[in-house]
Every structure is written in C-alpha cells, then in structure tokens.
Amino acid sequence: MDHFTYRDGVLCAEDVPLSQIAEAVGTPFYCYSTATLEHHYKVFADALSGLDATVCYAVKANPNIAVISTLARLGAGADVVSGGELKRAMAAGVPPEKIVFSGVGKTRDELAQAIASGVMQINVESEPELQALNDVAMEAGVKAPVALRINPDIDAKTHAKISTGKSENKFGIEWTRAHAVYSRAAKMPGIDITGVAVHIGSQLTDLQPFHDAFRRLRDLVAMLRADGLPIRRLDLGGGLGIPYDGEPTPGPAEYAAVVRDTVADLGCSLVFEPGRMIVGNAGVMVSRIIYVKEGATRTFLIIDAAMNDLMRPSLYDAYHAIVPVSEPAGNAPQKPVDVVGPVCETGDTFCRQRPMPPVAAGDLLALRTAGAYGAAMASTYNTRPLLPEVLVSGKAFSLVRKRVEVEDIIAMDRLPAWISPAG
C-alpha cells in the first residue's frame, strides 16, 4: 500500500506530480511520501497492540532526518549501527531511551558515545566486544544496559548477502555459547544484562525462519532464567520482507501472530527493528531518460541515475518496478528494454529485457519501492553527485537533502605538499 498513483495522466506522490518535483529539483532524485511512511508505521505498531512493544525503526534503511522525525513523531524509537546513526537519530528527536545500538564492530569510542547518550540498550555481538564494553562502562563509572545478540543458526531463506542468522555469518554469539557468555557477563561490574537480541536477515518472505529463531530464543530464555539470570527484554530485530513485484508476502499481522505464538508469554518487553517494512514502499527514485539506444540485440534506455544512486539491482540482482511518470495508454504495446545507467560497468543495469510501454529520450521514469536502502547506500562513484531527497506531505513538498554538488565532492580532496598546484 502506497501513495504513488497516477492522477490526470501523471504519477503523483500523494497530491504532487513527480514531474513538478523534477522541474523544481532536477533529476535524478528520491521522493518519499509522508502518508505512506505513517501508514506503514501504524500498521506495524497496531499489529503489535496489546504487547509491551517498542518499535525501533532501523535507521540504516533510510537515515534522512526528515524520515526519522516523521516516525519519531508517531512514537518510533530507533535502531542504530554507528556513532553517526546515533547522532542522526538524536538530531531527529528520538529520545535516547528508545534507541538500540546494534552492530558487529562497534568501536570503543562508539560504545562510550552510546553510554554517554544514555541509550536504552547496546546489543553485544561477541565476547571481545563484551569485554570492551565492560571496560568502557567501568571507566565511565556506570553499568551499560546490554542484550547479547544471539546467532540462532537458522537459515532466513533470503538473499545470501543479507542473511545474518547462520553460524557461518559474522553476526551474533552462537546460541550454543550463549549460556556461557551470559554467565560471564553477569559477573562483569560494567554490564547490566537486560535481555537477548536476534536478527536473522532482511527481506524475509517466509515466516517459518522467524518462528524457528524465536522458539530458539524462548528455549534460551528458559535456560538462562533457570540459572537465575534476569531476562526482561527481547529484541526480535527486523527483517520482514515487502513485495517488490506484487508478489504475496506476509504482513505485520501474520508476523505479529508468530511473535504471539512464540515469545509473547515470557513476560518480557519486546523490541522490534523494522526498516524496509516501514520505508521501502514509501519512496521512489525518479530519473530522466538521456538516450534510447538501439543496440545490436536489444534496446537500452540510458537514464541519468546509475548504480551509485540505487545499488540494489547491481548488488543483489534486486527487482524494482520501473514505470513512466507520464501514464501510458492502457493498450500501449510493450517492448522489452534494458534500463541502464551511465556508469562504466555492465553491472550498472536496473533491469534486463523488461517489457515497457513506449518511452522516449527526455521522459521521466520512476523506480519504485526505493525508499529503503536506496539513498542510504548511494555513493559518488564516477564523481556523480549524491541525489537530492524530497519529502511530500499532501500538496506540500520539501527538499530534505540538497544535491551534493560536484564541486563539494572535489573540494574534499587535498593535494599533498610535494605536488604544487602552481606547478
């Protein structure tokens, strides 16, 4: 469900034609819909009603401060994975007592920052990290609130690059070691054990792996409690998948049913870290066709956005629906095309042999479901400026990140003393 629909022949974000935004900010750009963000957050939060749950939006999916603020105003907390994200979440108005700090390689500086900020919980992913956090907390003279992230050795049945819950993955503490590590943590003066965390992967479209992971967590909680270790909070991570191509996917209600079925009766407060589910459908990337190139064997639409702007197709062979901003006639003939960017790599391809209605150079295309892990993962490869981002609310739209100019990118470089610019 989203708020990008054709009206009077033009694809609109809520009440604003995307062509109007293109005129105002140039192409390519990202555009987000407030109504869609709010809808998804509410559907997710409502599905959990009756549970003692905190929804900590995974900032990595879309870290724009306007996006985080939109969700924070509805009551969302934040899941952050770097000192930078922690600063962003706080700048966006998320109270620290609703922030979870996750991540496999937090530095001592980041751990100290998390403690000083007063975050709700730090998810520890290894024994060396536990030791480091204990040291840092003792230096600060406090006890750090800690959940151990457990690796349950469960296959999330998603893309290999975004599966995190198998024992060969770098994430978490093997569940078979969990008891020993908890016992050790319980004796550390700088550590206050609050609970257990798990996150097995992203874009899960099958609920069974969640079920299996949460059951394993349940067994672990029973074992820990039997040994007198207090477990009061469970962090169930993110990972709920969304439809990219209209495929049926389980929604928040079905996901919540799995939660109720597995861990709801343990008397723990629950933390959720959804990212994609909240922002994925709430964003599009709009790009203009530069050339239509008739190749020897196929037609290429060469657009002004590239793999550096939306990496998902190159990195994960991900599917994004691509539609013309000007509504095609219902009976328009479809022709297979490859939509590609200007970057000098064959991987800079958004789709291959995809049926598309007739389009021409100068036309705008919208790449849909680009709100999650789109702008967040963009780079300046090929010295291409980072895209501007626009947030729409009803009839209003606002530039929420300006385009990074080429001059700004070049200005970050420095010549060493032994090369004189003057020659």
Catalytic site positions: 344
Task: Give min distance, CB of 100 to ligand LLP, in A.
Answer: 8
142 CB-contact burial (10 Å; exposed 0-12 / middle 13-18 / buried 19+): middle
CB-wise, 31 or 55, nearer to ligand LLP? 55
Window 6 to 35, contacts with ligand LLP (CB under 6 A): none
Find the binding residues for ligand LLP in span 247-306 (CB under 6 A).
273-277
The H or E element containing residue 122 is: strand 121-124
Task: State the CB neighbour count (10 A cutoff) for residue 230.
Answer: 11
**Whole-Å CA distances, 408 to 387, 413, 420:** 13, 9, 21
Query: Is residue 369 close enough to count as binding ligand LLP by CB under 6 A?
Result: no
Assigned token pair, 394: 């009803």
In degrees, to the nearest 5, what angle opens at C-alpha 57 toward C-alphas 55 and 60?
Answer: 155
Q: Determine the Cα–Cα distance for residues 210 and 199; give it in Å rounded to an integer.
A: 9
Out of 34, 203, 314, 349, the residue judged to bind ligand LLP by CB under 6 A: 203
Residue closer to ligand LLP, measured from CB, 27 or 102: 102
Instruction: Pick the binder of ligand LLP from 199, 216, 368, 384 (CB under 6 A).
Output: 199
371 part of the interface to ligand LLP, by CB under 6 A: no
Q: Minimum Å distance from CB 239 to ligand LLP?
A: 4
Stretch that binds ligand LLP, among 9-17, 84-92, 198-206, 388-396 (CB under 6 A): 198-206
Query: Is 394 in contact with 14 (CB distance < 8 Å)?
Result: yes
In the list 28, 190, 195, 237, the residue contacting ligand LLP (rule: CB under 6 A) is: 237
H-helix or E-strand spanning residue 84:
helix 83-91
145 binds ligand LLP (CB under 6 A): no
Q: Can residue 373 be called a binding residue for ligand LLP (CB under 6 A)?
A: yes
Separation between Cα atoms, residue 66 and residue 62, nearest integer Å:
10
Using rule CB under 6 A, residue 239 touches ligand LLP: yes
Select 16 or 178, whichever has its Cβ closest to ligand LLP: 178
Number of residues that bind ligand LLP (CB under 6 A): 22
CB under 8 Å to 288, separation ≥6 — which residues? 22, 27, 28, 303, 304, 362, 363, 364, 365
Distance CA 216, CA 120 (A): 24
**Stretch (H or E) spanning 100:** strand 99-101
C-alpha to C-alpha distance for 124 and 130, rounded to whole angstroms: 6
Out of 3, 40, 106, 312, the residue judged to bind ligand LLP by CB under 6 A: 312
Q: Which is nearer to ligand LLP, 62 or 393 (CB)?
A: 62
* Residue 4 interacts with ligand LLP (CB under 6 A): yes or no: no
Among the candidate windows 187-195, 197-205, 295-303, 414-422, which touches ligand LLP by CB under 6 A? 197-205
Hey, which residues does 235 pair with through a beta bridge? Answer: 197, 271
Alpha carbon 382 to its chain's center: 24
Nearer of residues 16 and 320 to ligand LLP, judged by Cβ: 320
What secondary structure does DSSP assign to 21-73, as a single string?
HHHHH-SSEEEEEHHHHHHHHHHHHHHTTTS-EEEEEEGGG---HHHHHHHHT
- Exactly one of 17, 28, 190, 238 binds ligand LLP (CB under 6 A); which one? 238
- Residue with Cβ nearer ligand LLP (28 or 313): 313
Does 309 interact with ligand LLP (rule: CB under 6 A)? no
Nearest CA among 9, 7, 35, 16 for reference residue 279? 35
Residues 35-94 that bind ligand LLP (CB under 6 A): 58, 60-61, 79
- Encoded one letter per residue, x for contact with ligand LLP by CB under 6 A and - for no contact, window 91-130 reads -----------x----------------------------
**Site residues for ligand LLP per CB under 6 A:** 58, 60-61, 79, 102, 162, 199, 202-203, 237-240, 273-277, 312, 316, 372-373
